[in-house]
Structure 1
């Protein structure tokens, strides 16, 4: 099964959306004070972040590997009355063209092996001068460990490790690097606390 088929199957497990439909909390926190411009949402899933950004004046390009997720995202955008350009990409192979004032990678994880660092370095290369790269990641599986991970050790990088792997050199400013708790509903509906990480960087220049 290809990565695309695996993600389509994951989203097709439910007849309707599998996520809450609300934007990620840290995205809202970290982006609220930014002036809207061009935004790229990597791994947009069912589109909640993209719709939130578009509703606040951003010109949004949102990409995902799953056609099932993208169809739901387009429906969400239409219901919200906003315009988002949705594109299907396997980000290890293809990437959207252009430069962006905000590039957001929210929980860009996969239960199988994939080159996350390569994708995030490509994301950094898509940030326009003066723009922001925002990376949100998990620090643990929480209650959602995928069956394929049983018996396997998976490393979730710290903010410092994320920044080091980007290998950006001069010309970038670290705005946020933090590990923090987040409440989330588990698969049984109970509210649980898990640990996430935030990296927010600004590319110097105008």
Structure 2
């Protein structure tokens, strides 16, 4: 790889962690993701009593729509304006727009303020430079007493050997996030869960780093 190619690759990677990079991805007209809810969200929250939920890094809104259809009042948060625009359209098409609102915020700068939710969830959000612990700590502050925090991400592994070093170091194992939990949280699930992906047209085994925790009442 030439020096120019290396610099180009690093520039492309840096854009993945910034709003303009995702705005560019979502600039087209076709769906970028499937629109289906993420599997660990379904696995862990299907039995929860609906309340108020926050989805951090909501992208095109697949999880927001799924939660709203199950009776939740949902705030979808993302740093990409184009993502939020797409998500709003999908919520309209699904007939749940009256149950959702949108919040443009960077997870690296997220502060709950007076907002609180019975469920705070984030799927495949990856903050560079070891920033996930700080981001998850801020998410935990938004969980109401008795509520749940669910954070799912990619674990580094054979499925992602083609990524740049900075992309791989942004990945995490579930137990890497345990220091982000305040003392009044109890970890319920700390697992690496196998999941089949398709990359380059071939099936590969990946692992979902899955942290589910509950705040004491």
TM over 0.5: yes
Q: SS of the residue aligned with 1:92?
A: helix
Match of 2:208 among 185, 191, 196: 196
Q: What is the alpha-carbon distance in structure 2 between the residues aligned to residue 15 and residue 119 of structure 1? A: 30
Q: Deviations over 1:74-123 (max 9, x none)?
A: 1111110002101111122244551000000111114x547222111010
Residue equivalent to 1:168: 182
What is the number of equivalent residue pairs in this alignment?
198
Q: Bigger shift: 129-138 or 192-201?
A: 192-201
Structure 1 residue 166: Cα displacement: 0.7
Q: Residues 96-175 of structure 1 correspond to what in structure 2 (within 5 A)?
A: 97=113, 98-110=115-127, 112-113=128-129, 115-140=131-156, 142-143=159-160, 145-146=162-163, 149=164, 154=169, 156-163=171-178, 165-169=179-183, 171-175=184-188
Structure 1 residue 168: Cα displacement: 1.6
- Asked if residue 35 in structure 1 is aligned to residue 10 in structure 2, the reply is no
Q: What is the alpha-carbon distance in structure 2 between the residues aligned to residue 152 and residue 25 of structure 1? A: 22
Q: What is the alpha-carbon distance in structure 2 between the residues aligned to residue 166 and residue 107 of structure 1? A: 17
Q: What is the alpha-carbon distance in structure 2 between the residues aligned to residue 72 and residue 189 of structure 1? A: 26
What stretches of structure 1 of length at least 5 have no aligned partner?
none
The structure with more radius of gyration: 2
Q: Tell me which protein shows more helix as a share of its residues.
A: 2
- Asked if residue 79 in structure 1 is aligned to residue 93 in structure 2, the reply is yes
Q: 1:96 to 1:168 in 2, by over 3 A?
A: closer
Match of 1:70 among 63, 72, 84: 84
Q: What is the alpha-carbon distance in structure 1 between the residues aligned to residue 175 and residue 193 of structure 2? A: 14
Q: What is the alpha-carbon distance in structure 2 between the residues aligned to residue 81 and residue 136 of structure 1? A: 27
Aligned-residue Cα RMSD (Å) equals 2.2
Residue equivalent to 1:44: 58
Q: What is the alpha-carbon distance in structure 2 between the residues aligned to residue 199 and residue 174 of structure 1? A: 7
Q: 1:28 to 1:18 in 2, by over 3 A?
A: same
Aligned residues of 1:132 and 1:201 also touching (Cα < 8 A)? yes
Aligned residues of 1:102 and 1:133 also touching (Cα < 8 A)? yes
Q: What is the alpha-carbon distance in structure 2 between the residues aligned to residue 202 and residue 7 of structure 1? A: 31
Aligned residues of 1:124 and 1:133 also touching (Cα < 8 A)? yes
